[in-house]
Amino acid sequence: MYNRIVVPLDGSLAAECVLDHVLSVAQTGAEIILVRIVAKPHLDFVVREPALSACLDEEFTQEARDYLGGIARRIALPGVTVSTCVLAEQGPIGAIVVEFVKQANADLVVISAHGKTGLMGRFMGSVAEKIVHHAGVPVLLAHP
């Protein structure tokens, strides 16, 4: 049984293909943590006003919160806790997810494999590849 399941989502239908799989492995008492990374843009070269830049960051973050909240309501199950986390970070998405998985003490990651980069990209996306190799917990990889 998995107690803490991390589900990284990027807002695409391809990423959401994992939701049925998550529901099939989540048992009573489990926690599902939906995660979305909001890449903090370097807007300094475009937007010179710090207040406007901060406002844009907050808008992107709020959109991500709203998106995850909708997904959380959609997959609500009796006896299963569904929480959400928006990470406004800079850096490689795979590395950010791996660090979150470790900090959250997750025991399973469920992620979609999509994207076509490099040799391994023929089988899974580069973000998924990073998570599979470095998460340190089982990864359920679903193909859209």
pLDDT of residue 44: 53
pLDDT of residue 75: 95
pLDDT of residue 122: 44
Tell me the pTM.
0.84
pLDDT of residue 39: 75
99-110 burial code (b ≥16 CB/10 A, e <16):
ebbeebebebbb
For residue range 15-29, what is the model confidence (pLDDT) as tens digits?
A: 999 999 999 999 999
What sections of 26-125 are H helices per DSSP? 50-74, 93-103
pLDDT of residue 118: 43
Nearest CA-CA partner of 86 in 65, 111, 106, 71 = 65
Low-confidence ranges of the chain (pLDDT < 50): 115-124
Write down the residue that tokens 């009573």 correspond to. Answer: 28
For residue range 32-41, what is the model confidence (pLDDT) as tens digits?
A: 999 999 876 5
Number of domains in the chain: 1
Q: What is the CATH number of the domain that holds 35?
A: 3.40.50.620
pLDDT of residue 127: 85
The total of other beta-carbon atoms located within 10 Å of residue 84's CB is 20
Cα separation, 94 vs 100, in Å, equals 10
